[in-house]
Copies of this chain bind each other. A is one copy, B any other.
Amino acid sequence: MRARDLAVEYPSVTLDSDALDAARLLAERRLPGVMVIDDDGKPYAILPASRLVKLLVPDYVLEDPALAAVVDEKHADRLCRALDGRPVRDCLPRERQVPPVSDPDDTALEVAALMARERSPLVAVVEKDKAGGQLLGVITAAHLLEQLLGVA
């Protein structure tokens, strides 16, 4: 079993995607993060759902958590304005999480070793081409466990 056989489609957005659309995608699919690809279609970063939650929380609440309890729900409904019209590139954490990259011909054990070394919950499988590479799909830790353990 090679990385190309293990890779599955994984939701991705571009650096220019609307952050609110990215947040809706994460929410609807109940994902811990979304893959951000650059203008050449290569994996650029992971945008974690928790990062988007942080951007929705007003600064005055982050500074004084006690205020969170007194903000009424109607106001909370307008939180999404913090993301609306903002590109994904402006929402990435300062320390960008770059997903480790596997070759499509890597074995499951090579992918596992890469994931273990990088302590990453997922690995991007990239087919190298003249432009630098194209994202074939993603292998998550849970998916790899399934393969390594032979869970049907």
Interface residues of A (CB under 8 A from B): 1, 20, 23-24, 26-32, 48-50, 52-54, 56-57, 61-62, 65, 68-69, 71, 73, 76-77, 79-80, 106-110, 112-117, 119-121, 140-146, 148-151
Q: Within 8 Å CB of A68, what residues of B? A: 107, 109-110, 112-113
> CB distance B121 to A48 under 8 Å?
yes
**13 extra A-B contacts, CB within 8 A, seeds A32-B142, A53-B148:** A26-B141, A26-B142, A28-B146, A30-B143, A32-B140, A50-B120, A53-B145, A56-B149, A62-B116, A68-B110, A68-B112, A69-B110, A79-B109
Q: Which residue of B lies closest to A1 (CB)?
A: B73
Q: Is the interface of A mostly helix, strand, loop or mixed?
A: helix
Q: Within 8 Å CB of A107, what residues of B? A: 68-69, 71, 73, 76
Q: A80-B148, A121-B49 are in contact. Are A65 and B110 (CB under 8 A)?
A: yes
> CB distance B30 to A112 under 8 Å?
no
> CB distance B49 to A142 under 8 Å?
yes
Complex: how many Å from CA A145 to CA B28? Answer: 9
